[in-house]
Copies of this chain bind each other. A is one copy, B any other.
C-alpha cells in the first residue's frame, strides 16, 4: 500500500476542490467546495446529538433523496446550528446555489458548516462566495479546501493512500478538521473523503460505518458528538475496477484497509491538533473480555481530565488510569491488571508498583505516549487516541464565542 499524504481530497481521479475567503471570518479562508466530475455514490455518518445543525438535517435528507452526489459545500466560521427555520432555509439555499451554478440536481449537493452556534449565516457573503468558488475548482485545490474548513485548528489535515483493487489503482484521500477538543464534547469534527473506487452504495456505507468505529469514534467523538459532526465519503468509480458489491469480493479487503488507514490518519491529526495539546496519547486496553469492554475502558481513561493533566505534567500517576478503568462500568479485576507507559511496566499484577520513575519519565517526556492497560481477562483489545489537558485549552475555550 503506497502512502501519499499529498493531494488529499483531490488525490482520487475525477475530484476537484477549492477553498476561498468569502467573508464569514475576518481574513482566513471560510468556504470550501469539493466536486466529483462524475456522479458518485455516497456514505456518511452524522452526529447523534439531539441538537443537530441544519446541515445535518439537510444531508440526512439528501442521503435518501438521491443515490448520487456531485458536490459538498462547506463553510467555517458559523455552525448554522440552533438557528431554527431560518437556518434550515439558509442551508438549503447554499445547496441550491451550488446546484444552480453547477447545473446539477439539488439532491446531489451536500452542505456542511462549522463554527459558532446560534447565529444565522451571512447569506449575502455566501451567495457571492458560492458564485466565485464553483468556477475555480481544480485538482490542485485540495490544500485551499483543507484550509477553508478549519476553525481553531492550527494546521490543515490531509492524507491519501493508493491501493490496488483487482489490478486497478484506487486512490482514497481526504481532509478533516477538529477543533481538537481534549475530551471533545462539542468539537465539531468534519471529515470528507473521496475515492475513485467503484463500489456499491450499500457496501460503501458498511465500510464507512466500520471504519468510523475504528477511527473517528475512537477519539471519543461519538457519544459526545457536537451539533455538526459528520464524515462523508464520495466514491465515483473513476478507477474502473469492477464494482465492489460484497465484503467477500476480491479487492474489498484492500479497499477497506486503505479506507481505515485514511480515517485513522485523519483522526490522529485531529488529536495531534487538540486545543492546547502538547502530547499525543494512545490508550490501548488489551486482553479484555470483549472489544466493547476494551473500548469502554479505553474511552473512560482517554476522557479523564485527571489522566490528561497527569500526562501533561509528565507524572506517572497510574492510579488515575486504573481508577478511570474502575469507574468505566466494565467488570474486571484490578489486582490482575497491568499498566505500561510505552514498554515500561508501571503497574504489575497484584499491585506490583516498584517501577523505575526514571524509565517512566523517559517515556512521559516524549511527545507521543502509549498507555497500555492489560486486563489479563480475555483476548480483545481497543485503541483510543487523545491528548493532554493544558492551560492553553482553558485560554482557547474561555472566550471562544466573543
Q: Interface residues, chain A, CB within 8 Å of chain B?
A: 48-52, 79, 81-85, 87, 116-119, 181-183, 185-186, 223-227, 304-306, 309-310, 312-313, 315-320, 322-327, 330-332, 334-335, 347, 350-351, 353, 389-391, 393-395, 397-402
Contacts and interface: CB of A to CB of B under 8 A. Distances in A.
Contacts of A326: 49-52, 227
A334 B51 contact: yes
A211 to B, nearest CB: 22
A361 to B, nearest CB: 10
A395 B315 CA distance: 12
B306 A181 contact: yes
Given A50-B327, A185-B323, A312-B394, 11 more contacts: A50-B330, A51-B327, A52-B326, A82-B351, A181-B306, A224-B327, A309-B397, A313-B399, A315-B401, A389-B394, A394-B394
Contacts of A117: 317, 319-320, 322-323
A79 B306 CA distance: 16
A171 B395 CA distance: 46
From A50, A83, A87, A226, name the one whose CB has the most chain B CB atoms within 10 angstroms.
Answer: A50
Given A50-B327, A182-B305, A315 B402 contact: yes
B306 A185 contact: yes
B312 A50 contact: no
A81 B319 contact: yes
A97 to B, nearest CB: 23
Q: How many copies does the complex hold?
A: 2
A357 to B, nearest CB: 8
A327 B48 contact: yes
A331 B50 contact: yes
Contacts of A332: 50
Given A391-B391, A397-B306, A325 B51 contact: yes
B400 A50 contact: no
A332 B317 CA distance: 40
Contacts of A304: 185-186
Contact of A397 (B305, B324, B325, B394): B305
Contacts of A391: 391, 394-395
A185 B351 contact: no
Contacts of A50: 325-327, 330-332, 334
7 contacts: A50-B331, A118-B351, A182-B305, A186-B306, A227-B319, A310-B397, A310-B398
A325 to B, nearest CB: 7
A402 B81 CA distance: 44
Given A116-B319, A186-B323, A304-B185, A400 B331 contact: no
Contact of A351 (B83, B305, B398): B83
A402 B318 CA distance: 12
Given A315-B399, A394-B394, A400-B315, A227 B51 contact: no
B394 A309 contact: yes
Contacts of A52: 326
Contacts of A334: 50-51, 82
Nearest to A51: B326
Contacts of A310: 397-398, 400-401
Contacts of A227: 319, 323, 326
Contacts of A118: 318-319, 347, 351, 353
A119 B306 CA distance: 18
A49 B323 CA distance: 7
A155 to B, nearest CB: 22
